[in-house]
Amino acid sequence: MHLFLKTETDFYTSNPRVLHVAPEYCFIDRFEKHLGENYITADIESPLAKVKMDLHDIPFEDNSFDVVFCNHVLEHVNDDVRCMQEIRRVLKPDGFALCQSPQRYDLETTYEDASITDPKEREIHFLQDDHLRIYGRDFGKQLEKSGFTVVPVNIIEKLGTTESNRMSLPLEEIIYMCKK
């Protein structure tokens, strides 16, 4: 994500208002130093977050943020489309959201089965015991269903395999730049 923000956006040279859902520890200090009060962290339970919130009902006004980060969250929520719509709602018209999630690239479509409730079975089916789904190659289309225009970015192609391997980047991952 850092590499994408640095090479493909003006994130580090501007001062966007950012909502970071389920903030990754490695970014918090860096983003707070860069953005100050424009950086808002949010989570339903994490002590790292400034705001306690349920992604199904984001407590901010429409068009509040230039950037929204939501990484490795949508596979955990009951209604992922509703959460995507909420992210879109709080995003400014010229802003962008990065919504990353675990994917199985061998699956054409997202696999979801609400009858699987046993944590051991969820781990087998969805890769983790608290996941409710595993996205397939259609993840970008899932984001589009919520109203986003999605621009898939293959940062590996831009960097090349040698450089990507040197940085230990996941070679299959696509970054989904979501816009209103």
Residue-wise pLDDT tens digits, 139-149: 999 999 999 99
Average pLDDT, the chain: 95
Mean pLDDT (whole number) for 72-85: 97
Residue 119, pLDDT above cutoff 90: yes
User: Taking the CB of residue 38, how many other CB atoms lie within 10 A of it?
Assistant: 16
Please give the share of the chain, as a percent, with pLDDT higher than 70: 100
Give residues with Cβ within 8 angstroms of 33, minimum separation 6.
Answer: none
Mean pLDDT (whole number) for 91-102: 97
Per DSSP, helices labelled H in 25-166 are 25-35, 80-90, 119-126, 139-145, 155-159, 161-166
Residue 171, pLDDT above cutoff 90: no
Tens digit of each residue's pLDDT (9 = 90 or more) over 6-46: 999 999 999 999 999 999 999 999 999 999 999 999 999 99
Nearest 5 degrees, angle CA 127-CA 130-CA 133? 60
Structure tokens at 107: 């699956």
Written as one letter, the residue type at 168 is S
Torsion sign (Cα): 65, 5, 139, 39: negative
User: Taking the CB of residue 105, how many other CB atoms lie within 10 A of it?
Assistant: 12
* Separation CA 51–CA 62 (nearest Å): 17
Mean pLDDT (whole number) for 143-164: 93
Nearest 5 degrees, angle CA 2-CA 129-CA 48? 45
Mean pLDDT (whole number) for 51-58: 98
**Model confidence pTM above 0.75:** yes
